[in-house]
Amino acid sequence: MRPSRARGGPRCRGAGRGVASLERTGAPATLAEWLEFIQRQNPRAIDLELARVTAVYQRLGAPRPAPLVITIGGTNGKGSCVALLGSILGAAGFRVGAYTSPHLLRFNERLTIDAREVGDRDWCESFARVEAARGGEPLTYFEYATLAAAGLLAASGVDAALLEVGLGGRLDAVNAIPADAALIASIDLDHLDWLGPDRDSIGREKAGIFRPDRIAVCGDRDPPPAVARRAAEVGARYLQAGREFRAEPTGAVWAWHGPGRTLEALPRPGLAGAFQLDNAAACLAVLAGLGLLEQLPRAALDQGLSRARVAARLQRLAVEPEVFVDVAHNPGAARALAGWLADAPPAGAVDLVWGMLDTKDVAGFARALAPKVRRWYPASLAVPRGLSAAELAQRLPPGSRLGGCFERVEDALEHARRSAAPEDRILVAGSFHTAAAAARHLADPASAVPDG
C-alpha cells in the first residue's frame, strides 16, 4: 500500500452540506446539542449487541474508513497502541485517522486525522447522516459516535484508520466495521458484569475482533487459552507475544524479535513505563503481519516510537513536586503503575490523589499500589457511579496513611501539592474523570511541562 503524501487539515470531504436544512427542521445544530440528543436515544448507556449498529452501518453504505483498517482492543494499553501505530505510520508518510474513547476533556478528541481533532461542524454533519439512516434503531451514545466516525474517516481520504474498541470486542460497535488486522494489547479483570468473571471469559470476548485469514496479534505474554482458541476457530493468522515475537530491552534501547526478522537498537517508546515495550512490540508485530514493517524506513520506526504521545498515560503535568496523571482504573493498570514506580522512583515519596467509580475493583486497585504510596488523598467523583471519598477511604488496605478526604479532585490535588516536598511525586489516577479533573486544574501553561 502506498501512503498518500498529501497533507491537509481534518476537514472531511462533503462536510458542511446540510447545516442550513438541519436548522430549518429544528434538529440538533451544535455538537453539544447532538451529544445531548444521542445520549437520550437508548435508555441503556451500555447495550452490547451488533445487530443495531450493523443494520445502520449497512444503510449508510458500509463506509470503509480507510484502505487499511486496524482494530485495537484489550483491557489496558489500547490508547497507547493507537498512539504508537499512529506515530510510526505518520512518520512514514501515511495519512492516519484514529478513533479512540472515552475522551478526556473534549468529545472531539475521539477522532483525529493526521493527529488533529475533527471539528464540531464535521461531527454534526456526520451525526445527521447517521440519524437519517437510523430508522428508529435505539443506538447508544457509543454506537452513534462509532458510525459517525466511520463516515468521517471514509470521507477524509486517510490511508490508515486505527479503531479503538470501546468495551470487550465481540459485541462492541467497532466490531461492525471490517478490519485488516486486530490487536489485543492485554487481558485483565475489568467490566466483569459485561464480559465474564475470569480472564478466559474476558479473553474470548476480546478475541471476538479476530477475523478469518486476517492478522490477529496478542500483546499479552500470558493470555488465557480462549484467545488462541478463538484465533484457531475463525482461521485468523495469529501472532502471540513471547512466541512469534518479543521485546528484549538492553539499557536505553531495545530489540524486537519477530517472524524472520530482528530489529536492533530501537529507541524506547516516548510513553513512560517499561510496560510500553510490550505495547510497542505488539504494534511492530501487527505491521510485520501486514507486510508493512519491511517497507517502512528505519528512520520512521525510530521517530515514530520515540515521539509517540497520548494524554493522561503517565503524563507529567507539573514539577517540584512532580505531578503525573494516569487513567489507570483497574488492578492490572495499578500493577503497571507500581512497576513504573519501582523502575523510576522519585527522590522522595509518592502520594496518590485517587477517585474511582463503583463499577471497578477499588480494593484490588488499592492493594496493587499500597506498597508504593505514602499518603492517600481520596476524592469524590460527582458523576454517575462515582464513589465518595469516604467510601474510597473505607476500602484502603490496613495500615494505609490517609492525607484527608476531599469533595473534589482539584482540592485533593492542591492539598497534596502543599503537603509534599519538592522531591516528592504525586500520582493522580483511578478514572478518566479523575485524570480529566486534574488535567483541567493544571492546564495553566506556567505549571505544565511535556512528558519525558
Q: Cα separation of 367 and 370, whole Å?
A: 5
Q: Cα separation of 257 and 293, whole Å?
A: 12
Q: What integer pLDDT is reported at residue 26 of this predicted model?
A: 66
Looking at residue 359, its amino acid is T
Q: What integer pLDDT is reported at residue 17 of this predicted model?
A: 42
Q: Cα separation of 77 and 64, whole Å?
A: 25
Q: What integer pLDDT is reported at residue 167 of this predicted model?
A: 85
Q: What integer pLDDT is reported at residue 24 of this predicted model?
A: 40
Q: What integer pLDDT is reported at residue 444 of this predicted model?
A: 58
Q: What integer pLDDT is reported at residue 331 of this predicted model?
A: 94
Q: Cα separation of 93 and 82, whole Å?
A: 16
The C-alpha cell 504521545 sits at 309
Per-residue pLDDT of the chain in tens (452 residues, 90 and over written 9): 444 433 444 555 444 443 333 444 568 999 999 999 999 998 877 777 899 999 999 999 999 999 999 999 999 999 999 999 999 999 999 999 999 999 999 999 999 999 999 999 999 999 999 999 999 899 999 999 999 999 999 999 999 999 999 988 899 999 999 999 999 999 987 767 767 888 999 999 999 999 999 999 999 999 999 999 999 999 999 999 999 999 999 999 999 999 989 999 999 999 999 999 999 999 999 999 999 999 999 999 999 999 999 999 999 999 999 999 999 999 999 999 999 999 999 999 999 999 999 999 999 999 999 999 999 999 999 999 999 999 999 999 999 999 999 999 999 999 999 999 999 999 999 999 999 999 999 985 344 333 33
Contact 253, 231 (CB under 8 A): no
From the list 272, 317, 310, 279, the residue with the least C-alpha distance to 428 is 317
